[in-house]
Chain A
Amino acid sequence: MKFGIMVSEGPYTHQATDTAYLFIKAALEKGYGVPRVFFYHDGVNNATKLTEPPQDDRHIVNRWSKLAEDHGVDLVVCVAAALRRGIRDENLAPGFRISGLGQLVEAGIQTDRLVVFGD
């Protein structure tokens, strides 16, 4: 079983991004594949390395980067949504890449389930 994931909301403001992360961790631990996470709408704000939460809070962006490093999950940020919100290659956290909406449609075609985490 392969899961494609779409994250539609930004970090900290909305729980969607936390739920997506925890879902992916659980899926990987159970041996399922999660080849790609696609970030859309304010979800693109998950990808900025300028993020600096208080010390005692979870670091959502670094958590994504580690997921990419440890499990090779492809973290794709929609280019149009990203540019609209000031997310560019220069401020992209490790493990993320900017690409087109076709990557979302492709994930829908090539995985068994596409799960949307949003509002």
Chain B
Amino acid sequence: MTETTGGVELDEEMSGVIKKFMFVNRKAPYGTIYALEGLEVVLISAAFDQDVSLVFLDDGIYQLVKGQHTKAIDVKNFSPTYRALEGYDIEKLYVEKESLEARNLTVDNLIVPVEVLTSAEMAALMTEQDVVISF
């Protein structure tokens, strides 16, 4: 018998469990590392064949804005990665309507196709999830 971990053992096999994972992006792409490291988790989650959704709200909206130029701050522009998500079968991208409007942005300003939801609709979608991880 293996040593217990925190009272229980995580199974070796995940036996094809598919959960609804939602990643909530709330921070601007540069200035802090949350957006970049958050995206790394999203890419890894694709390897686990889960039902993945991405949400962008508050300053997280800026992660998707077209025309990011980061040379002057000597930080890598990782915005093209969002366009690659489709190739990982991550196609559920949601943007909060109120966050867009507060920043005077529209979907035309964004680098990927998204579905726009009101904060009430967003809240409803969140309650349907099994796992919500926010960055």
Contact = CB atoms under 8 A, between A and B. Distances in A.
Interface in B46-92: 47-48, 50
Given A72-B5, A102-B47, A35 B41 contact: no
A116 B132 CA distance: 8
Greatest chain B CB density within 10 A among A32, A41, A118 is at A41
A74 B6 contact: yes
A95 to B, nearest CB: 11
Nearest to A70: B6
Contacts of B9: 35
B131 A72 contact: no
Given A6-B133, A114-B131, A109 B6 contact: no
B85 to A, nearest CB: 16
A26 B123 CA distance: 28
A77 interface: no
> Looking at chain A, what size class is its interface with the partner chain?
20 to 34
B101 interface: no
Contacts of B104: none
A101 B44 contact: yes
Contacts of A109: 14, 17, 19, 48, 50, 131
A75 to B, nearest CB: 10
A87 interface: no
A100 interface: yes
Interface of A: 2, 6, 8, 24, 28, 31-36, 40-41, 71-74, 80-81, 100-102, 104-111, 114, 116, 118-119
